[in-house]
A and B are shown apart, each in its own frame.
Chain A
Amino acid sequence: MEQSSQLESFGRALVELGREREDIVVLDPDVASSTKTTYFAESFPSRFVRVGISEQDMLGIASGLAAAGKTPIAVGFAMFIIGRGWEQIANSIARQRLDAKIVGTHAGLSPHADGESHQMYGDVALMRTIPNMRVVVPGDAPSAVEALRAALEYRGPVYIRLMRGSTPTIYGEDIEFEMGRANVLREGSDATVIANGIMLSRALTAAEKLIGEGIDVRVIDMHTVKPLDTGAIEKTAKETGAIVTAEEHSIIGGLGSAVAETLAETAPTPMERIGIRDRFGESSRSYPELLAHVGLTPEAIAEAVHRVIERR
Chain B
Amino acid sequence: MNLITYGEASDFSGVELTELGRFITDLTAGEEPSLLGTMVQTTAGLKPLGSVLKGLRQRVLRMVAEAGSGHLGASLSVIDVLTVLYFVRMRHDPSNPDWEGRDRLVLSKGHAAPALYAVLAEAGYFPPGELNSLRKLGGLLQGHPENTIPGVDASTGSLGQGLSIAVGMALAAKMDEATHKVYAIIGDGELNEGQIWEAALTAGHHGLDNLVAVVDRNQFQLTGRTEETKALEPIGEKWRSFGWEVIEADGNDPSSILDALDVCALTEGKPSVIIASTTKGKGVSFMEGNKFSKAVPDASELARALAELA
Is this pair of chains taken from one and the same complex?
yes
Partner of B164, one of A25, A47, A60, A95: A60
**A contact residues around B16 at 8 Å (CB):** none
Q: How far is it, in angstroms, between the C-alpha of A52 and the C-alpha of B205 when the chains are bound?
A: 10
Once the chains bind, are B154 and A96 in contact (CB under 8 Å)?
yes
Partner of A54, one of B156, B158, B202: B202
Once the chains bind, are A25 and B166 in contact (CB under 8 Å)?
no
A230 within 8 A of B: no
- Of residues 59 through 73 on chain A, the ones whose CB sits less than 8 Å from some CB of chain B are 59-70, 72
Once the chains bind, are B158 and A57 in contact (CB under 8 Å)?
no
Q: Tell me the minimal C-beta distance from A75 to chain B in angstroms.
A: 16
Once the chains bind, are B158 and A62 in contact (CB under 8 Å)?
no
CB contact under 8 A between A67 and B153, given known A54-B202, A60-B165, A96-B147 = yes
**B contact residues around A62 at 8 Å (CB):** 168
Chain B 95-113 interface 0/1 with A at a Cβ cutoff of 8 Å (1 = within): 0000010001010000000
Which residue of chain A lies nearest to B153 when distances are taken between CB atoms in the complex? A67
A88 within 8 A of B: yes
CB contact under 8 A between A56 and B173, given known A51-B202, A67-B147, A96-B154 = no
Once the chains bind, are B147 and A65 in contact (CB under 8 Å)?
no
**B contact residues around A189 at 8 Å (CB):** none
Number of chain B interface residues as a range: 35 or more
User: Main SS of the interface on chain A?
Assistant: helix
- Of residues 170 through 202 on chain B, the ones whose CB sits less than 8 Å from some CB of chain A are 170-173, 175-176, 182, 194-195, 198-199, 201-202
CB contact under 8 A between A64 and B175, given known A54-B202, A96-B147 = no
Q: Tell me the minimal C-beta distance from B143 to chain A in angstroms.
A: 13
- Of residues 9 through 61 on chain A, the ones whose CB sits less than 8 Å from some CB of chain B are 25, 46-47, 49, 51-52, 54, 56-61
Q: Tell me the minimal C-beta distance from B146 to chain A in angstroms.
A: 8
**B contact residues around A269 at 8 Å (CB):** none
Partner of A61, one of B147, B153, B171: B171
Once the chains bind, are B170 and A64 in contact (CB under 8 Å)?
yes
Q: Tell me the minimal C-beta distance from B22 to chain A in angstroms.
A: 34
Which residue of chain B lies nearest to A59 when distances are taken between CB atoms in the complex? B164
**A contact residues around B173 at 8 Å (CB):** 68
**B contact residues around A88 at 8 Å (CB):** 161, 164, 195
Partner of B195, one of A56, A68, A69, A72: A56
Most buried by B among A64, A66, A67: A64
Partner of A60, one of B100, B176, B199, B201: B199
Q: How far is it, in angstroms, between the C-alpha of A66 and the C-alpha of B167 when the chains are bound?
A: 12
Q: Tell me the minimal C-beta distance from A95 to chain B in angstroms.
A: 5
Q: How far is it, in angstroms, between the C-alpha of A91 and the C-alpha of B153 when the chains are bound?
A: 14
A92 within 8 A of B: yes
A87 within 8 A of B: yes
B49 within 8 A of A: no
Once the chains bind, are B161 and A91 in contact (CB under 8 Å)?
yes
Once the chains bind, are A91 and B202 in contact (CB under 8 Å)?
no
**A contact residues around B205 at 8 Å (CB):** 52
Partner of B175, one of A47, A61, A63, A92: A47
**A contact residues around B201 at 8 Å (CB):** 52, 54, 57
Q: How far is it, in angstroms, between the C-alpha of A51 and the C-alpha of B147 when the chains are bound?
A: 25
Once the chains bind, are A56 and B168 in contact (CB under 8 Å)?
no
Q: Tell me the minimal C-beta distance from A96 to chain B in angstroms.
A: 5
Q: Tell me the minimal C-beta distance from A252 to chain B in angstroms.
A: 25
CB contact under 8 A between A64 and B158, given known A25-B175, A57-B198 = no
CB contact under 8 A between A65 and B168, given known A70-B175, A92-B161 = yes
**A contact residues around B194 at 8 Å (CB):** 56
Chain A 102-137 interface 0/1 with B at a Cβ cutoff of 8 Å (1 = within): 000000000000000000000000000000000000
Q: Tell me the minimal C-beta distance from B152 to chain A in angstroms.
A: 10
Partner of B158, one of A51, A91, A96: A91
B155 within 8 A of A: yes
Which residue of chain B lies nearest to A98 when distances are taken between CB atoms in the complex? B147
Q: Tell me the minimal C-beta distance from B196 to chain A in angstroms.
A: 9
Q: Return the 8 tightest CB-CB contacts between A and B, nearest first.
A: A64-B168, A60-B164, A68-B172, A57-B198, A61-B168, A54-B198, A64-B169, A64-B165
Q: A56-B198, A60-B162, A92-B154 are in contact. List 16 more A-B contacts (CB 8 A).
A: A46-B175, A52-B198, A57-B201, A58-B164, A60-B164, A60-B168, A60-B195, A63-B154, A64-B154, A64-B171, A65-B168, A67-B153, A69-B100, A92-B155, A92-B158, A95-B155
Q: Chain B residues in contact with chain A, CB under 8 A?
A: 100, 104, 106, 146-147, 153-158, 160-173, 175-176, 182, 194-195, 198-199, 201-202, 205
Q: Chain A residues in contact with chain B, CB under 8 A?
A: 25, 46-47, 49, 51-52, 54, 56-70, 72, 87-88, 91-92, 95-96
Pairs across A and B, CB under 8 Å, 8 listed: A51-B202, A52-B205, A57-B195, A60-B164, A60-B165, A64-B169, A68-B169, A92-B164
